[in-house]
Structure formats: C-alpha cells, structure tokens
Amino acid sequence: MENHINNSRLKLAKARMEEVKAFYTMLGGFVILMPYLIFVNLKSTPDFHWFWFPIAGCGISIFGYAIYLFGGKNWEQKKIREIMNNQNNLKN
C-alpha cells in the first residue's frame, strides 16, 4: 500500500514537472519570437504596428497558463485529497 502511494506521488510530481517545463518552453519561445516579429514588422510595414496582436494573444495565453499552473492548482490537490479520504472512509 505504501509503495502504491509513493508511486502515485511520483507520477503526480513528474506530471507537474512536465507542466512547468512546458510553461518555461512557451515563455522562452515568446521571448525569442516576439522581438523577431517586431523587427519584421518595423522593416516591412513601419506605419502599421501589427506586432501588438501576436504579443497580446501569446501574452494572454501564457499569463493564463501561469495562473493555472502556479496559482490555480491548489483546488485540484484539495479535491484529490477529499476524494481519497471519502474512498478510505467507505472502505472502513
């Protein structure tokens, strides 16, 4: 039983690590790509600044993912604990 719990915790930790890694990959792509888009925009059509649209779209999605990942995951953990406690109470 104890080994099963440790395996479950290990799987959850690995999944969390993959989510954090995906976030930093997205953030790195944003930091690399947006200056390039700004450069292309200012060289091709300097009178219309269309680069704000991809910056806003990507920025909003990265911000939302950051909130989900670093701020909004507590409710999931609480719900998992609640469900596990309910299952343990039903077995007893």
pLDDT tens per residue, range 54-89: 999 999 999 999 988 888 767 777 777 778 777 777
Residue showing tokens 């395996």: 7
In this structure, the dihedral spanned by the alpha carbons of residues 52, 53, 56 and 62, taken in order and rounded to 10 degrees, is: -120
pTM assigned to the model:
0.70
Helix, strand, coil distribution of the chain in percent, nearest 5: 90, 0, 10
Contacts of 49 (CB under 8 A, 6+ apart): 41, 42
Tokens of 22: 């995906």
